[in-house]
Amino acid sequence: MNSLDLDDCFQTALDLAKEAGLIISEAFKKAKKVEEKTSPRDLVTETDKLIEDQVISKLQELYPNHKFIGEESTAAGIKCELTNDPTWIIDPVDGTLNFVHSFPYTCISIALWVDKKPCLGVVYNPVLQQLYTARKNAGAFLNGERIRVSGKEDLSRSLVVMEMGYRPDEKKMEVVHRNAKKLIERCHGTRALGSAALDMCLVAEGAAEVYWENGLHAWDMAASVLLITEAGGVVLDITGGPHDLMNRRVLCAASPQLAQQMVQLLEVYDEDRD
Ligand code: LIP
Q: What is the domain partition of the chain in residue ranges?
A: 3-146, 155-265
Q: What is the pLDDT of residues 60-105, one digit of tens each?
A: 999 999 999 999 999 999 989 999 999 999 999 999 999 999 999 9
Pocket perturbation via mutation, ligand 1, pick of 163, 202, 221 by most ligand atoms within 8 A of CB: 163
Instruction: Please tell me if the CB atom of residue 202 comes closer than 6 angstroms to any atom of ligand 1.
Output: no
> How many Å from the N-terminal Cα to the C-terminal Cα in the chain?
30
The whole-number average pLDDT for the span 48-63 is 98
**Which atom of ligand 1 is nearest the CA belonging to 165?**
11
Q: What is the pLDDT of residues 115-174, one digit of tens each?
A: 999 999 999 999 999 999 999 999 999 999 999 999 999 999 999 999 987 778 899 999
CATH domain 155-265 topology: D-Maltodextrin-Binding Protein; domain 2 (3.40.190)
250 C-alpha vs ligand 1 centroid, how far in Å?
13
Q: What is the pLDDT of residues 134-150, one digit of tens each?
A: 999 999 999 999 999 99
**Which atom of ligand 1 is nearest the CA belonging to 219?**
16
Report pTM.
0.97
Query: Number of helices (H) and strands (E), helices first, in the chain?
Result: 9, 14
User: Mean pLDDT for the chain?
Assistant: 96
Q: Which of 81, 89, 91 is nearest to 120 (CA)?
A: 89
11 C-alpha vs ligand 1 centroid, how far in Å?
26
> What is the model's pLDDT at position 1?
44
Distances (CA, A) of 160 to 106, 163, 192, 224: 20, 10, 8, 16
Pocket perturbation via mutation, ligand 1, pick of 179, 195, 274 by most ligand atoms within 8 A of CB: 195
221 C-alpha vs ligand 1 centroid, how far in Å?
10
| CATH superfamily of this structure's domain 3-146 | Fructose-1,6-Bisphosphatase, subunit A, domain 1 (3.30.540.10)
**Which atom of ligand 1 is nearest the CA belonging to 217?**
13
> Count of CB atoms within 10 A of residue 261's CB?
19
